[in-house]
Structures are given as structure tokens and as C-alpha cells.
Amino acid sequence: MTTALIIGVGQFGSHIAKRMEELRCEVMAVDVKEDCINEILPFVTNARIGDATNEEFLRSLGVSDFDVCIVALGSHFQSSLETTSLLKELGAKKVVSRATNDVQMKFLLRNGADEVVYPEKQMALRIATRYASDSILDFIHLDNNYSIYEMKVPKDWVGKTLMQLDIRKKFQINVLTMKRSGNVFIPSPDTEIKPGDVAFVIGELRDIQKCFKI
């Protein structure tokens, strides 16, 4: 069972805490605001009121015992930076911190964060990509080069097999899974494309644009 310490249970942190509990993680939530703790308490294993920038308070939590420590303070960047640094000094195994801009991300990485999440940027990227074309149904950004796209299949694919389309050779794109009538399945080279099929593909944006004529 994964154990998680979540510092800051505003809207962002509380969503993480609740989801991790649903996934059967053992979650301790921490916040300076009593009302935030009272709201999250029914959904987590344990909760504490306290200032995570206070070294003694943070030490009392036994941060090294948690598999992951998530700093979800958001707009309080100075507190987020101090907490991130203290967690690492106190032996935290993995520290994940939230940033709201590129500068914050750089400082957090330099001061102990093993990973930085940037939800506003990630959501903006997802929305922009999703609505850039009617062909794109959803989008998962993996890194600067590759992403996974949920795509409506082009009309000229219908009636052909994946082997006949050979998009891996032509466009350097891999079909991971497909969805037909609401059911997701792993296609074979002999899978024939039907009207209304949806393909989950991985590749670089420029290759996706060429393949799907975006």
C-alpha cells in the first residue's frame, strides 16, 4: 500500500487526497487551515493542522516514512519552496511539488523537488490541442516529443486493415488501442477499420498532423 503525505488541501490538494484514498493509498493530509482539515478528514486516513514550513512540525510527521510527499500549496510559492526544501532535508523519499509558472518550476527542482506538476499549463495544453481539430477527441502529453492522441479515424481508413494502412512505416505512428461502440480493444494487423472507430495513437505532433491531415 502506497503511503502519501499531502501538504495543502485546498481544491487541488483535496482532489489528489480523495483520489489516492479511492486507489487504496494511506493518506495523511496537512494544512494550516482548520476548516480545510475538517473538510478532508472524512476522506483520508489521517490529518493534521500545522505549518509545513516549521521544521519541528514537519519532523514530527515522520516524512521519511511516506512513499511520496506532495506539496500542493499552489499560490503560496514561498511556503511551497520552503516546504519542498525541508522535506528533502528531512529524508523524504520522493517530493512532488506544484508550480504555477515556469520560474517556480525551475526553483522547485533546484530546491529538492523530484518532480514538479504544472496543472494550469498541462490543462491549457490539453484544451488547446483538443479543440484545434475535430479529429482530436483527447490528448495526453508525455514529453516534448511524444503524446498519445485519441483520434477519429479518417474516412479513407474505413474498410482497410492496419496492415494495409501501414501508418507506422509511413508516418512513424503506433496504434496502441482502438475503441468501437464504446469498447476498447487491442487491434491486430488484420483488424479492419469500421465507421465510427476511434484510434489511440502515439507519435510526434508533426507526424500526427500529416497522418490525419490536420
Closest CA to 54 of 32, 76, 27: 32
Q: Cα(195)–Cα(199) distance, rounded to whole angstroms?
A: 12
Query: Mind listing the pLDDT tens digit for each residue in 49-83?
Result: 999 999 999 999 999 999 999 999 877 889 999 99
Task: Give pTM, 2 decimals.
Answer: 0.73
What pLDDT is stored for residue 133 in this prediction?
80
In this prediction, the residues of the chain whose per-residue pLDDT falls under 50 are none
User: What domains sit in the chain, N to C, each tagged with a CATH number?
Assistant: 3-117 (3.40.50.720), 122-211 (3.30.70.1450)
What does the pLDDT read at residue 4? 96
Contact 6, 29 (CB under 8 A): yes
pLDDT score of 196 = 92
